[in-house]
Amino acid sequence: MSVTPLRALSIEQLRQRSSTKWRTYAPDILPLFVAETDFPLAEPITDALRRAVELGDTGYTPPDPGIRDAYAAFAQRRFGWTVDPARVRTTCDVMMGVVELLRRVTAPGDRVIVTPPVYPPFYDCIPEAGAVVERVPLSPTGTGWELDLPGIEAALAGGARAVLLCNPHNPTGTTHSRESLAALADLANRFGAAVISDEIHAPLVQPGVTFTPFLAASETAAEVGYAVTSASKAYNLAGLKCALMITAGDEPARVVRELPDEVEWRTGLFGALAGVAAFSPQSDAWLDGLLAALDQNRRLLGGLLAEHVPGARYRIPDAGFLAWVDLGDLGWGDNPAARILREAQVALHFGPHFGDEGKGHVRINIGCSPQVLREAIERIGALDAP
C-alpha cells in the first residue's frame, strides 16, 4: 500500500517558530544544520498538548505517566522487540541519561569508546561523567560503514570500560547489523565492559531496512547493555524533555533501578504526554508519512548533488533525516560548511565537530521540503560556478 508523504510547513510558517533552527541565523540563511524537522506535529500529539494546556496540566510528572507501556507497545509493533515496561525509567533527555549511566558503569578516568564520526555531544557527555573519550572510528566498507570490531577489542583489552554506541548511527545513518552488535556484546562481556546504546533515531529506520535494538541482538547484549531513546527526534519534540532508559538483563536493571529519584524527576510532563501520544498506534500513519517524505528527500539529495555539486560523495542513509556528505575533493578546506554558510547562505552542521573523520564533510538536515532542499543545494553548487 502506497503511503502519502508528509508535507513540510511553508518557510513563512517555519520562521514563526522560536526554536534553535529558526532563531540562530538571519532570515536570508537556509537552516539545514540542527536536528529539527519542518513538518507539522502528529495530530495526536497536538491534541494531547492542547488538552494539557487547556486543563492547566503543567505540574510535576507523575511516577507513571504511561510512556513506559506506550513505548513497549511501540517497540513490539515497529521492531518486533519485547520490552518489559518495569525495566524502563525516564529522565530529561538522552544525553542526560547517558551521563547518569556512565557515572554508574565507569570510574573517574576510565576510558569510554566512541565510533567517530559521531554525534558531537558524545565528546562532551563522557568528560561530564568523569571519563575519557577513546576513539575507534567506523570502518568504511565501500558501500557504507561498520563497527571496527578488532579496534574495539584492542581498546577494551587496553582497559576501556564502556562503549557509547550510536544505533542507528548519527551522522552516517548506518543501522548496525545484528551480527556486529552481538559480536560487540561478546567483546564487552569478555572484558567486563558495558555498552550504552543511543537509539534515538530508531523510529526513523526506512521500510525494508532491518533495525536491531542492541538489547535484542543476543542474550549477552541484554546482560551488558543499556538503551537510551526518546520520541524527540522522530516526532520533533526536543524541547519537551523526556527520554527513556531501557534494560533487559538483571544487573543493568538493578543499576537503573538504583539511580537517584531526581534523575526521573527531571522528566518533563509535556515530554511524557507527547511521548505517549507519539508512540500510540494513532500516530503510526503520521510516522509512515514522515518516512515516505524522508525517503523522497534522501534520494532527491543524491540527484541534486550529482547535478550541482558533482565532486560530492554521498551514501543514502538507512535511517534518519541527516545526510553525511564528503566535500573533501572540492578543495574547500577541512570545514567546508564555514564557506557554505558565509558565501551560499546555507547553514549545515560542521563536519569536524563529529571528529577528525569529519574533516572535509558536512551534515545536511533533509527533514525539510523538497523545495528547500533543492534551493540549498543549488546555492552550494553555485559557489564555484563560472
| pLDDT average, residue stretch 149-154 | 98
Dihedral pair phi/psi, residue 17, rounded to 5°: -70, 155
203 — pLDDT class (breaks 50, 70, 90): very high
The whole-number pLDDT of residue 384 equals 81
91 — pLDDT class (breaks 50, 70, 90): very high
The yes or no reply on domain 11-43+283-381 and CATH 1.10.760.10 is no
Is pLDDT at 386 greater than 70 in this prediction? no
* pLDDT digits 0-9 by tens, 253-312: 999 999 999 999 999 999 999 999 999 999 999 999 999 999 999 999 999 999 999 999
The whole-number pLDDT of residue 181 equals 98
pTM (2 decimals)? Answer: 0.97
* pLDDT digits 0-9 by tens, 314-355: 999 999 999 999 999 999 999 999 999 999 999 999 999 999
Q: Number of C-alpha atoms within 13 angstroms, CB side, residue 229?
A: 30
The whole-number pLDDT of residue 140 equals 94
Is pLDDT at 150 greater than 60 in this prediction? yes
| pLDDT average, residue stretch 115-131 | 98
Give how far Cα 210 sits from Cα of 102, 196, 276, Å: 28, 20, 24
Of 386 and 181, more confident: 181
Q: What percent of the chain has pLDDT over 90?
A: 98
**CB within 8 Å of 262: residues ≥ 6 apart:** none
Domain ranges of the chain: 11-43+283-381, 60-281
Averaged pLDDT of the chain:
97
Indicate the CATH number of 60-281 among 3.40.50.300, 3.40.640.10, 3.40.50.970, 3.40.30.10. Answer: 3.40.640.10
* pLDDT digits 0-9 by tens, 279-290: 999 999 999 999
| pLDDT average, residue stretch 201-212 | 97
Nearest to 13 by CA among 270, 366, 282, 372: 372
The whole-number pLDDT of residue 3 equals 94
Beta bridge partner(s), residue 196: 164, 226
- Same CATH fold, 60-281 and 11-43+283-381? no
The whole-number pLDDT of residue 2 equals 85
Residue 328, helix vs strand vs coil: helix
Residue 351, helix vs strand vs coil: helix
385 — pLDDT class (breaks 50, 70, 90): low
